[in-house]
Structure 1
Amino acid sequence: MKVLITGATGFLGGYLVKECLALGYEVIAVGRNQAIGQGLEVSYEKLVFVVADLADKASLAAAFAHQPDKVIHAGALSTVWGPWKDFYEANVLGTQHVIDWCQETGVERLVFVSSPSIYASNENQELVTEEQAPVDNRLNNYIASKIEAEKRVIASLVPYVIIRPRGLFGVGDTSIIPRLLAIHDKVGVPLVAGGQHLIDLTCVENVAYAIGLALEKKEAIGQVYNITNGEPMTFKATLDLFFKEKGIKGRYLSVPKWLLAGTAVVLEGVYRLFHLKGEPRLTCYTYYLLVYSQTLSIEKARRELGYHPIMTIEEGIRHYVQHS
């Protein structure tokens, strides 16, 4: 059996490559980073790398010419800020192109890696189920693009599974933890009301394992699954685990909720008005993460996929600190 993995040269993609090879698949690794992709080819015998741009349907032809039986679509533009055009091309059109090729080549299953950021709201949310996803959420363009991409996957004729993994971290992460540690080193991590809101994180190894289950289980076809570690913790307690493992004392900055909210709104407004490049230091989405509880229910994944995390949060943090 052959599996094609988009985003194979990214953070999650590298773990998916290892997981699929361990399951006995031949892997068609698709990505834009040629150096990393060629490194994968050298490292693994049953892997072929194809450089491609998801926004260009024709560039995917060489990858699908290898006739994959299944596809994991993990490639995406994943950031909290940017113009709609960029997100539309990478995440909406890119997903449509993958769907089109799956239909044209008769792929028997498409596992689409979406995002639980689509649940984002200015309120506390605990044990959110898959059915509670909004049909529209315009908090940022990334979220809007993921919702539209999901709609296209569901409307397609391709047998699909949708995975929504929350707060991925692990060795190789360039997003969540590095950003928080950078803020910590500069001014201290901002805390609202003592950082007692609940959050969910997920070891990237657990996400790769869950996606491997989604590739195999017949019951998964046509379903959507939240994936987390199933270990909700307060924001501050989670950070304290990182700092304890690093052997440092956490630096925190107490900030009133209204100040964070106002700063986020003003910064986003300035960036839009003057078409500034880059990303605001604080966005409304980041504000939500710093203020509101959000935990996801993984009961459906436990019941239907047989998913049980293979690495705990503490183990994941220890592994991250030791190898980063």
Structure 2
Amino acid sequence: MSGARVLVTGASGFLGGYVVPELRRHGYEVFAAGRNATALARVADERHRVVGDLASLSSQELPVDAVIHCAALSTPWGSWKEFHGANVAGTRHVVEFARRNRVRRLVHVSSPSVYAANRDRLDIRESEVDRTNRLNGYIRSKNAAEDLLLDARDAQEIEELVILRPRGLIGAGDPSLVPRLLDVHTRVGVPLFGGGENLIDVTAVENVASALRLAITRGDAAGGVYNISNGDPRRFRDLLTTLLTLLGEQPRFRPLNRRVAWALASTLEAVCSVIPGRPEPPLTRYTLSTIAYSQTLDISRAREDLGYRPEVSLDDALSAVAAHLKAGS
């Protein structure tokens, strides 16, 4: 399908900014959609830029063969109204765009947050999802968006649908995962649970971009769901020590008890939810589910159906993050 036209939503964001050049390198004509005109100008020429929100996109007429839907509100804290508007209603707008323009395939970026729990979970398969998970609004919205898309596929509003759940994106320009950890490290030290022996799966952003490209032509088109990671789980303490050492920092860890931390996070969430402006708590249950417990993904289905192979190693990804942060300091 090289040479086909692809629209990338969220192209002004972290992941989208990698997906656009990845597709171009493989011969696709790429249209970049997003709200940040300045960021879009860095990845697409004027003829291939679609500036605006997802609501405005739904009425656009653009003859494309596929859509890669990267746009989303991704944060551990926020109101249901915000998450629903960005991740559920926003996805509905993308479906409307696909229907209006008779797009052949929609590739949706979901999230393994749907597996979040306060227990260790190893080699999680795509089917091991609790659709009633109410840990936070982000998880609810990602579950709801997947359900919406599957319903749209069944109703033949979407001709073909593939869903990816990439775990813990890292890379140069990461605006969230690593900056949050470094901020906590600087202020109080990184919380460490069970000696930091819990296994963490993360993914080089370049590998996610590659998987999304593969999903344009491969995978179960009837709503196939695929876990994506680097397939290289590391102990949490080792992962952070490697990154901090690359940055020339002395690791600072703060040992904590899981049960105490979970109770504290629950209390902080309850308090912050009634404070005007609903400020983000310094600790959330969702954050704990990602750093206090082991969570690794089974990516065998992506390997078999998509032909996915992590090309950028975890060590190379960590080095790229460190080099980028040093250059900007």
Report the TM-score when normalising by structure 1. 0.94
The residue type paired with residue 181 of structure 1 is L
Structure 1 residue 313 displacement after superposition: 0.6
Corresponding residue for residue 41 of structure 1:
44
Which of 2, 6, 19 aligns to 1:3? It is: 6
Would you say the 8 A contact 2:8–2:67 is kept in 1?
yes
1:1-324 alignment runs, 5 A limit: 1-42=4-45, 48-54=48-54, 56=55, 58-62=56-60, 65-156=61-152, 157=156, 158=158, 159-217=160-218, 219=220, 221-324=222-325
The letter for the 1-side match of 2:313 is T
Separation in structure 2 between the aligned mates of residue 34 and residue 60 of structure 1, nearest angstrom: 18
- Distance (Å, rounded) in 1 between the aligned partners of 2:313 and 2:43: 27
CA drift of 1:59 comes to: 4.2
Secondary structure at the aligned position of 2:163 is classed as strand
Kindly provide the CA deviation profile for residues 82-141 of structure 1, in whole angstroms up to 9, marking residues without a partner as x: 111111111101101111221222110000000000000111100000011122211000
Q: 1:243 offset after TM fit, Å?
A: 1.6
RMSD (Å), alpha carbons: 1.5
Helix, strand or coil at the partner of 1:318: helix
Deviates most, 3-12 or 22-31: 22-31
Cα separation, 2, equivalents of 1:271 and 1:323: 34
SS of structure 2 residue aligned to 1:216 = coil
| Cα deviation, residue 262, structure 1 | 2.1
Equivalent residue letter for 2:237? K
Contact 1:31 1:51 in 2 (8 A): yes
The range that moved more, 150-159 or 199-208, is 150-159
* CA distance 1:225–1:265, change in 2 (3 Å): same
1:220 CA drift (Å): 5.1
Q: Is the 8 A contact 1:225 1:300 kept in 2?
A: yes
Distance 1:305 1:41, change over 3 A: closer
Contact 2:107-2:164 within 8 A present in 1 as well: yes
TM-score (norm 2): 0.93
Total equivalences in the alignment: 317
Q: Is the 8 A contact 2:57 2:97 kept in 1?
A: no
The superposition leaves residues 150-207 of structure 1 with CA deviations (integer Å, 9 ceiling, x where unpaired) of 0011111211000000000101101111110111111111111211111100000000
CA pair 205-59 structure 1, distance change in 2 beyond 3 A:
closer
CA distance in 2, matches of 1:51, 1:75: 13
Contact 2:31 2:44 in 1 (8 A): no
Distance 1:53 1:192 in 2: 40
Shift, 1:292, TM fit: 1.1
Shift in Å, 1:218:
5.5
The question of whether the paired residues in 2 share the 8 Å contact of 1:220 and 1:304 is answered with: no
Q: Take 1:228 and 1:150, find their aligned partners in 2: how far apart are those partners?
A: 19
Greater CA drift, 2-11 or 281-290: 281-290
Contact 2:21–2:43 under 8 Å retained in 1: no
**In the TM superposition, what is the alpha-carbon distance from 1:38 to its structure 2 partner?**
2.4
What is the CA distance between 1:277 and its match in structure 2?
A: 3.3
Distance 1:220 1:315, change over 3 A: farther
Task: Quote the offset at 1:216 in angstroms.
Answer: 1.8
Deviates further, 172-181 or 266-275: 266-275
| Partner secondary structure for residue 246 of structure 2 | helix
Secondary structure, in 3 states, of the residue corresponding to 1:35?
helix
Stretches of structure 2 that go unaligned for 5 or more consecutive residues are: none
